[in-house]
Amino acid sequence: MESLLIRPAELADLEGILSLAKAIGEDHDVRGRDPKGDFYGYLKDMKDDRLAFLLAFIGQKEVVGYSVVKFHKRLDPSDYDPTSCTIGVAVHPDYRRRGIGTKLIECGLKEARKRAIETVYTSTFIDNIAMQKLAEKLGFIKYAVIERDGLQFPRYKRKVCERI
């Protein structure tokens, strides 16, 4: 595999993100209903330091994955929390099982650590066994399974660092 580069998203990355969104498809609505609008919203929130939007590139040209880290947010209930964040990850189907998701989450955890975040949350669909195993491999602990709109979502969390 060519070298993997992970960096914050930039405005010039729009076409790569839209291509990735198309490749991921609408399975369980993982890419959102408006990838272009989400992209612009994420860039704005990055400027306000409310989130980190990290992209994974192969050979510095093809976007093959992304991670969104939303600072000061928690799950269950979804609310403002200055000591928590949520992290989500998606990888192009042709590039899965190559460690890209692991690297994206590890980079997201570093972003959380920089901000003295204490607890990181993530969630996935009940049938996404690969993501559940990845979360557990990275130290996340399943603490709940919620049901919404007839679907089940395992919830995971892990500690990142202690406040000084």
pLDDT recorded at residue 164: 38
The Cα 38–Cα 91 span in angstroms is: 17
pLDDT number for residue 163: 46
Per-domain boundaries in the chain: 4-159
Domain 4-159: CATH architecture, name and number where available? 3-Layer(aba) Sandwich (3.40)
99 and 2 in contact (C-beta within 8 Å)? no
Tell me the mean pLDDT per 10 residues along the chain, length 164.
Answer: 87 91 67 79 92 87 91 78 92 93 96 93 94 96 92 94 51
Please name the residues in contact with 56: beta carbons below 8 A apart, sequence gap of 6 or more. Answer: 4, 5, 6, 63, 64, 65, 66, 67, 91, 100, 103, 104
Question: What was the pLDDT predicted at 88?
Answer: 92
**Rounded to two decimals, what is the model's pTM?**
0.89
pLDDT at 29 (0 to 100): 45
